[in-house]
Amino acid sequence: VQDAPARPEVDQAAFRKTLVDDFGAVLDRFNAMRRDEGRALAGVLGQQLDTIERLVAISAKQAQARSETAAARLRAGLDRILAATDAVPADRLAQELALLAMKSDVTEEIDRLNSHVGAARALLGAQEPVGRKLDFLIQEFNREANTLCSKAQDPALTQTGLDLKATIDQMREQVQNVE
């Protein structure tokens, strides 16, 4: 059986003094490193918000174009249906058209996404910890992007919605590092 080597004697008073003297400097370096990382992270998140903002603007244009095209297609389809059937009550027709329009309108989602971009930018400028708030906002971004995709009914708008979701997912990964 072999004995463990004896530990060298340490001057406890000198050790404590060194520890206390160096602690402040170590803490200052640690906090400086956290600030630097926070600034870098804010820059990355800001770029991702720029991308989201750009994609939302594209979505708005695509939705407007889709709306005009859909209205023309709907009129043509209605003309065919009305020509092939007897009378359809005007109030019933108006009700169905309103329902169709509401189901495919993405204006609210676009407005909310823009609002969330503004809220996220405000949080990035805050001095207090905002990680949980940003995490919640990311969930809201995701919800609106999902709804946009489900209402899209247009390949280009769907693709833009998917690009939005990918950027939001990248942002979510970064937000996990925010205090």
Does residue 81 lie in a domain region? no
What tokens were used for 7? 């530990």
- Which residues fall within 8 angstroms of residue 74, CB to CB, at 6 or more apart? 97, 100
Count of domains forming the chain: 1
Tens of pLDDT, residues 135-176: 999 999 999 999 999 999 889 999 999 999 999 999 999 999
Indicate whether 75 belongs to any domain.
Answer: no
Instruction: Tell me the residue ranges of DSSP E strands in the chain.
Output: none
Q: Report yes or no on 56 lying in a domain.
A: yes
- DSSP label at 171? H
End-to-end CA distance of the chain: 51
Residues 120, 22: Cα–Cα separation, whole Å = 38
Lowest mean pLDDT among 54-63, 87-96, 132-141, 146-155: 87-96
pLDDT at 37 over 70: yes
Q: Is residue 141 part of a domain?
A: yes
Query: Mean pLDDT over residues 22-34, rounded?
Result: 91
Give the structural domain span for 134.
Answer: 45-64+105-175
Asked whether residue 123 is domain-assigned, the answer is yes
Mean pLDDT of 29-54: 94
DSSP per-residue string spanning 106-142: -HHHHHHHHHHHHHHHHHHT-SS--HHHHHHHHHHHH
The predicted-structure confidence for 98-132, as pLDDT tens digits, reads as follows: 777 777 889 999 999 999 999 999 999 998 999 99
Of the pLDDT bands very low, low, confident and very high (cuts 50, 70, 90), residue 15 is confident
Q: Is 1's pLDDT higher than 70?
A: no
Is residue 134 in a domain? yes
Inside any domain, residue 98: no
Q: Which residues contact 45 (CB under 8 A, 6 or more apart)?
A: 120, 124, 134, 171, 174, 175, 178
What local confidence, expressed as pLDDT, does residue 69 receive?
77
User: Is 144 inside a domain boundary?
Assistant: yes
